[in-house]
């Protein structure tokens, strides 16, 4: 899986959208089809107070995005967040041009095909694949525990503790895989993944992709 994620970082795309086949080639010519768009919830608010709180949370999130802060959050260029004052971050944010990568909302072990020797031979179910901000690809995968954090029986804090232990194993595997592999960034992918988790950028991008988990993660 580490090698698969590294390979997905290799092609760079010029805009956000879905790939469309044109002759023998593919180009980003359609709107992105995301898992979040496909699974719309109908239980948006529970009460007047809940509605008010969610409106304020989303307004603050939109304000940060409008100021351009979200793109830099958790990177070396981050000079506004509390995390940037307490952490020594070393990874630069992706550039603003041609800085999109192929991303699949449904990429997880459940959709990986193995051979008789447990080698990966194919990744399946790419209907929610699209060209997305590179920031998504620089976060550690949520599926290390196979269960979404907002659906974890013991709560999101317990999920984080268990996940952090699994993440250490994943980062060691990624470091081993990086030998002989290269990506067009000033630091190794494993370093980006580690700093994403330490700075909280993992949660920011997760909430961006999954609106139904926004409120749980915002309180986190």
Among 83-97, 103-117, 187-201, the range scoring the smallest mean pLDDT is: 83-97
Cα 3 from chain centroid (whole Å): 17
Computed on alpha carbons and rounded to an integer, the radius of gyration of the chain in Å comes to 18
- Which pLDDT tens digit goes with each residue over 66-108? 766 677 778 877 777 777 778 888 888 887 666 799 999 889 9
- Kindly list the domain boundaries of the chain, sorted by start residue: 2-219
Q: Which two tokens stand for residue 101?
A: 């990568």
Element housing 47 (H / E): none
* Residue 161 pLDDT level (bands cut at 50, 70, 90): very high
CA distance 217 to 220: 5
């Amino acid at each position: 899986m580490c090698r698969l994620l590294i390979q997905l970082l290799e092609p760079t795309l010029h805009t956000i959208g879905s790939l469309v086949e044109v002759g023998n080639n593919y180009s980003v010519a359609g709107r992105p089809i995301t898992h979040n768009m496909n699974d719309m919830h109908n239980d948006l608010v529970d009460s007047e107070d809940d509605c008010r709180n969610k409106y304020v949370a989303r307004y603050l999130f939109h304000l940060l995005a409008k100021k351009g802060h979200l793109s830099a959050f958790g990177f070396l260029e981050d000079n506004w967040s509390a995390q940037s004052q307490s952490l020594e971050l070393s990874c630069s944010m992706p550039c603003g041009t041609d800085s999109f990568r192929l991303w699949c909302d449904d990429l997880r072990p459940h959709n990986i095909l193995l051979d008789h020797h447990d080698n990966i031979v194919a990744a399946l179910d790419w209907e929610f694949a699209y060209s997305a901000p590179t920031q998504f690809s620089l976060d550690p995968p949520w599926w290390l525990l196979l269960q979404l954090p907002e659906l974890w029986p013991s709560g999101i804090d317990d999920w984080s503790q268990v996940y952090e232990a699994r993440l250490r194993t994943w980062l060691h595997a990624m470091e081993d895989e990086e030998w002989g592999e290269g990506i067009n960034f000033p630091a190794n992918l494993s370093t980006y993944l580690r700093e994403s988790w330490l700075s909280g950028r993992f949660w920011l991008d997760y909430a961006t992709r999954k609106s139904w988990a926004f409120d749980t993660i915002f309180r986190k």
